[in-house]
C-alpha cells in the first residue's frame, strides 16, 4: 500500500498517543471512539473524526484498533455499523489483548465477511512507550498480511516480531503478561517491605540499578509506589487482571501457574478495593493494607 489511509478505533490510554505518532509520521488518520470526546486530542492534531466504525472503514485502506477486550473488538467489527459490513479496507491490525483462540475465530469471520486480512499485534511498554513510539509488538498473521502491516507499525514500535499465524501474537502477549504481571506484584511487595523496615524506598532504583533485581517494570513502578504518586497511569489494574485471567483460562489443564495465581489474587483484591481503573502501581496500597 502506497500512502495508505489509516483508520484507528479506540483512542484511550494507549491508542491516543499511538494515533499521534501515526500523524507525526505523515499518515492520514481517521479516528473513532465510543466516547467521542476521547478523540479530541487526535482531531486537534489533524485526524478526522468518524461517527461509526463503518464510516471509519469507508475512509481507510487499513484499520487499526486498540480496545478494552474481545467484546469491544467484536462490536466494532461485526456489530451494527461495523467494519465487516464495509468493502474496501484490505487489513485489520488489532493492538488489543484477548484470547488467542478468539482472535483466530474473528480473523476468519472478518476475511469471510469482506476479505480483510488480520494481524493481531498486542503491545508492551505501557503509556511511556506508546507516547515515545517505542512499543514492543508481537504479531500474528499470514506472511502477506504481516508484510502489509509491518511498515504501518514502524512509527509505533522499537521492535515488531512476527510470531506465527493469527493468534500467535496474542499467545506471546500472554507470556509477556505472566512475566510483567508477576514482576509488578513482586516490585510492590519489595517496595512495601522496604518502607515497612525503614529503608528509603525512593532510592531503590538507584541502589539496585544494573543488578539482578533491576528491570524496566522496577525502574518505572518502584518510584511511583515508593512516593505513592499514581498520576498519569502507566496502565490500569483492571487491564492487567483481565490479561492474567486470560492466561489462567488458556493455561487451565496444561500449564502450572502458581506465580500468576498469586499476582491475580493481589490484583483482584486491589480491584475489589476500588482501584480497578487506577494505575497498576496502586497494588502497593493493597499490600500496605494487608500488612
Catalytic residue numbers? 173
Q: Where are the alpha helices (DSSP H) in the chain?
A: 15-24, 40-44, 53-58, 70-78, 100-114, 126-132, 143-153, 168-196, 204-208, 216-227, 237-251, 258-270, 283-290
CA dist 267 and 274 (Å) reads 11
Q: Where are the alpha helices (DSSP H) in 27-69?
A: 40-44, 53-58
Residues in Cβ contact with 281 at an 8 Å cutoff, skipping those fewer than 6 apart: 188, 221, 224, 225, 230, 234
User: Which phi and psi angles does 134 have, rounded to 5°?
Assistant: -120, 35
CA dist 85 and 112 (Å) reads 11
CA dist 67 and 283 (Å) reads 23
DSSP bridge pairs for 29? 6
CA dist 97 and 109 (Å) reads 18
- DSSP 8-class letter at 92: E
What 3-state class would DSSP assign to 50?
Answer: coil
User: Contact, 127 vs 153, CB < 8 A?
Assistant: no
Residues in Cβ contact with 189 at an 8 Å cutoff, skipping those fewer than 6 apart: 287
Amino acid at each position: 500500500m502506497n500512502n495508505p489511509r489509516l483508520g484507528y478505533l479506540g483512542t484511550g490510554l494507549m491508542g491516543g498517543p499511538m494515533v499521534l505518532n501515526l500523524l507525526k509520521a505523515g499518515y492520514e488518520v481517521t479516528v473513532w471512539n465510543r466516547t467521542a470526546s476521547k478523540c479530541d486530542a487526535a482531531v486537534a492534531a489533524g485526524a478526522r473524526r468518524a461517527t461509526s466504525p463503518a464510516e471509519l472503514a469507508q475512509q481507510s485502506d487499513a484499520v487499526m484498533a486498540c480496545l478494552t477486550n474481545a467484546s469491544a473488538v467484536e462490536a466494532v467489527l461485526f456489530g451494527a455499523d461495523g467494519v465487516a459490513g464495509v468493502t474496501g479496507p484490505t487489513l485489520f491490525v488489532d493492538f488489543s489483548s484477548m484470547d488467542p483462540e478468539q482472535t483466530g475465530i474473528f480473523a476468519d469471520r472478518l476475511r469471510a465477511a469482506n476479505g480483510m486480512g488480520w494481524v493481531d499485534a498486542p503491545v508492551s511498554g505501557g503509556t511511556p512507550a506508546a507516547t515515545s513510539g517505542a512499543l514492543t509488538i508481537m504479531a500474528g498473521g499470514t506472511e502477506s498480511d504481516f508484510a502489509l502491516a509491518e511498515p504501518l507499525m514502524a512509527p509505533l514500535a522499537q521492535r515488531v516480531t512476527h510470531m506465527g499465524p493469527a493468534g500467535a501474537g496474542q499467545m506471546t502477549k500472554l507470556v509477556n503478561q505472566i512475566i510483567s504481571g508477576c514482576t509488578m506484584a513482586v516490585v510492590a511487595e519489595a517496595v512495601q517491605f522496604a518502607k515497612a523496615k525503614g529503608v528509603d524506598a525512593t532510592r531503590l532504583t538507584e541502589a539496585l540499578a544494573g543488578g539482578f533485581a533491576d528491570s524496566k517494570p522496577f525502574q518505572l513502578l518502584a518510584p511511583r509506589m515508593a512516593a505513592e504518586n499514581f498520576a498519569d497511569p502507566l496502565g490500569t489494574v483492571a487491564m492487567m487482571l483481565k490479561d492474567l485471567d486470560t492466561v489462567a483460562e488458556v493455561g487451565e489443564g496444561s500449564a502450572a501457574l502458581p506465580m500468576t495465581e498469586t499476582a491475580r489474587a493481589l490484583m483482584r483484591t486491589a480491584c475489589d478495593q476500588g482501584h480497578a481503573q487506577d494505575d497498576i502501581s496502586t497494588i502497593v496500597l493493597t499490600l500496605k493494607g494487608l500488612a
